[in-house]
Amino acid sequence: MLMIMNNLDPKVAQFPHELVTYGGNGQVFSNWAQFWLVMKYLSKMTRSQTLVMMSGHPLGLFPSNPSGPRMILTNGMMVPNYSTRINYDRLFALGVTMYGQMTAGSYCYIGPQGIVHGTTLTLMNAGRKYLNVSDMTGKVYVSSGLGGMSGAQAKAAVICGCIGVISEVDPCVLQKRYDQGWVQEMIDDLDSLISRIRECRKKKITTSIGFKGNIVDIWERIKEEYEKTGELLADLGSDQTSCHNPFDGGYYPVQLTFEEAKSLIATDSEKFKELVKESLRRQVSAINYLADKGLFFWDYGNAFLLEANRAGADVGARQEGGRVVFRYPSYVQHIMGDIFSLGFGPFRWVCTSNSQEDLQRTDHMAASVLEDILEEGVPPLVEDQYKDNVKWIKEAASHKLLILLTNVKKSGRISTISIPSLLKSYRAEADRGPGNCPWHLNPGWRQSGSVKEKKKCFNRLEE
C-alpha cells in the first residue's frame, strides 16, 4: 500500500491524475476504481492469501501460504499472434491492458535515484571498455532526456567524474532537474554550450549540463565543430528519448519547437510522424559521422535504433543468426551484460520506516560485507565491480541520493513501520491546508484542494 501510494505521489509521478508514474505511459493502474479495489483487498487479506493482478485489474484473492508472495502481477501481456501495435492500443483504450514499465505497474518506483546506480555503472564501464580509462575526468558524455529514467544520466555523469551534456526539450522538466540538483548547469544556446564543453575539457571540470533544446541540434553542431577544427567534442554518446513511443510525445522532432510539436500531435498526427522520422534520420547521420571519427555510441534499450531503422536511417541493420543486428550495440549487450554475467549489477532495498538511521545502518552493513569479501581476496576480473559497489554505498549520501530502505527487523537494529501512525502524520499535513498532503489518493484533490475529501480518503484507507 505504501509503495503504491509512493508511485502516485504528485512529487514522484509524471502524470498522477492519469495514474502514470514515468515513461509517458508507465501506469500503476488503468483507472481509479482499480486503485480502490486493490486497497480494499490489501487491507482485508490474510497471510494465507495472494492477490493476483493483471494489468492493474485485481483478479482476486487466492489461497496461499505465509511463505508465498502476497501479490503476483503481470502487465501488458498479449497473445503473440495478436500483439500488434494497433491491437495493443485498442485494448489499452478499453482499459484491459496497460504498459507498467519496469517499476510503475509493479509498485516499486523510487524515482531516478533507483536508476542512477545502473547508469553510473554503465558510464564507468563504458569508459573502461571503449576509452580504456578508469578516470573519466575531462571525458564528455552526450545524450538526451531528463525524465523519470533518463534523468539519472546527469547525476551519473557527475558521480563518474566526467562532463555530462543532456538535452531536454521540455523546459519544465529541465528546471525540475536543475532545482533538484541533478543538473548543475542550464544552457539554452548552442554557442554557449560548445564554449562550455571546451572549457570543461580543458580545465578537467566535472559537471552536468542540461541543454534546453533538441538532441539533434547538439549532434549536428558537434559534427560541424569537428569539420571546422578537427576537435571531437564528445567521447561517449547515447539516447534516452522515449522512442518506444515516438509518435505520441516520446520523441520530439528537431524541426519544431516543443510547443509546436505538442500542437501538431493533436492537429496532424501523420505530419508529426513524418517529421519524427526525418529527425531520426538526421540524428543518426550526425552520429554516424562522429562515430567514424572516434565517438563511441550505444543504444540504451529505448528502441532508438529500432525506430531509426524503421524511419529509414542508416543504422547498419542486418540479419544475423535469425535476428536483426545494428551498427551500434545495446548497453546490455556490450556493457551491463558483462557485469551481469559476473553476478554484479545495481542493487537496492526499501526501508518503509523512512528513517535516516536505518539508511545509515543498512548502508554500513552492506559496505562492510563487500569490504570483507575484498579483504579475503577476489579474482582481478571482478575486483573493480566490488570496488564500484563499495564506492556507490559510501558516497551515496554525498551525492544526495536518498534510497528507500527495506524494513529489516532482525536483531532489532532497524525499526518497523506502522501504517496507521504514518497515516496519522500525513493526515496532520493534510489538516494544514490544500497542497500539503504528499499522497495523491483522489484525482480531484489538486483542483479542489478539499481537506475534508483528503480526511475522508485517509479514513477509508485505514478502514
Half-sphere exposure of 23 (CA within 13 A, CB side): 23
pLDDT at res. 71 = 96
pTM of this prediction? 0.71
Res 398: pLDDT: 64
pLDDT at 346: 64
Looking at the DSSP bridge assignments, the partners of residue 162 are none
Nearby residues of 107 by Cβ (< 8 Å), 6 or more positions away: 3, 4, 7, 28
pLDDT at 136: 95
pLDDT (0 to 100) of residue 337: 78
pLDDT score of 418: 37
- Domains along the chain? 1-94 (no CATH), 112-338 (3.40.50.10730), 345-434 (no CATH)
Q: Helix 112-126 crosses helix 380-395 at what angle (to 10 degrees)?
A: 140
Distance in Å from the first CA to the final CA of the chain: 13
Residues 56 and 106: their CA atoms lie apart, in Å, by 9
| The three three-digit cell numbers of residue 205, written as one number | 571540470
CB atoms within 10 A of CB 393: 21
Helix (H, G, I), strand (E, B) or coil at 381: helix
What is the rounded CA–CA span in Å between residue 74 and residue 78? 11
Contact call for residues 205 and 229 (beta carbons, < 8 A): no
Residue 442 is given by DSSP the state -
Residues of the chain where predicted confidence (pLDDT) is lower than 50: 402-414, 416-463
Q: Per residue in 77-90, is it b (16+ CB within 10 Å) or e — as a string?
A: eeeeeeeeeeebee
DSSP 194-257: HHHHHHHHHHT--EEEEEES-HHHHHHHHHHHHHHH-----SEE---S-TTSIIIIIS--TTS-
pLDDT in tens, 95-138: 999 998 888 999 988 776 668 888 988 999 899 999 999 899 99
Buried b (16+ CB within 10 A) or exposed e, 378-387: eeeeeebbee
